[in-house]
Amino acid sequence: MEPRFAEIVAALGDYFDGLHHSDADKLGQLFHPQAIYACGTEGSLTHLTMSEYLPMVAKRPSPASRGEARRDRILSIEFAGPVTALARVECGIGAKHFTDLLSFIKLDGRWRLIAKVFHFDLDPAAP
């Protein structure tokens, strides 16, 4: 596996772990402090900074604590250059099924998330 591809896969592992365990510290290490969180699924723009998003993660009961099985997978990873990548992933939390478009930049030798733009659908059969 190409090294930069393996590095993104490892970063996505941390992303999925952070979401499943509501581990804001782990996510805070992955997201750049100036990253954005954006969604338009509900008909208006949801736009958060990391200082708004990470405390929300820390406060919510984790899917792991509720006994939810992991429901995440990598759909694609594309590189726009040596320090820029885009990953498309899916993740389920509770009744929500998310499709995330995650923009990465490599700074100081490590990949950081700079933008999370996502859509979600409700799954009435989910826990």
Instruction: For residue 106, tell me if it sits in a domain.
Output: yes
- Please count the structural domains in the chain: 1
- Helix, strand, coil abundance in the chain, percent, nearest 5: 30, 45, 25
**Burial environment of residue 69 by CB neighbours within 10 A (0 to 12, 13 to 18, 19 or more):** exposed
The per-residue pLDDT for range 74-109, each reduced to its tens digit, is: 999 999 999 999 999 999 999 999 999 999 999 999
- Radius of gyration of the chain measured on its C-alpha atoms: 14
The per-residue pLDDT for range 41-77, each reduced to its tens digit, is: 999 999 999 999 999 999 999 999 999 999 999 999 9
Instruction: For residue 127, tell me if it sits in a domain.
Output: no
Percent of the chain predicted with pLDDT > 70: 98
Count how many Cα atoms sit within 13 Å of the Cα of residue 19 in the half-sphere of its side chain. Answer: 23
pTM of the model: 0.94
Residue with tokens 């995650």: 102
The per-residue pLDDT for range 112-121, each reduced to its tens digit, is: 999 999 999 9
Instruction: For residue 12, tell me if it sits in a domain.
Output: yes
Percent of the chain predicted with pLDDT > 90: 94
Residue 47 is predicted with a pLDDT of: 98
Instruction: For residue 10, tell me if it sits in a domain.
Output: yes
What is the domain-level CATH number for residue 100? 3.10.450.50
Residue 125 is predicted with a pLDDT of: 72
Domain containing 15: what range? 3-122
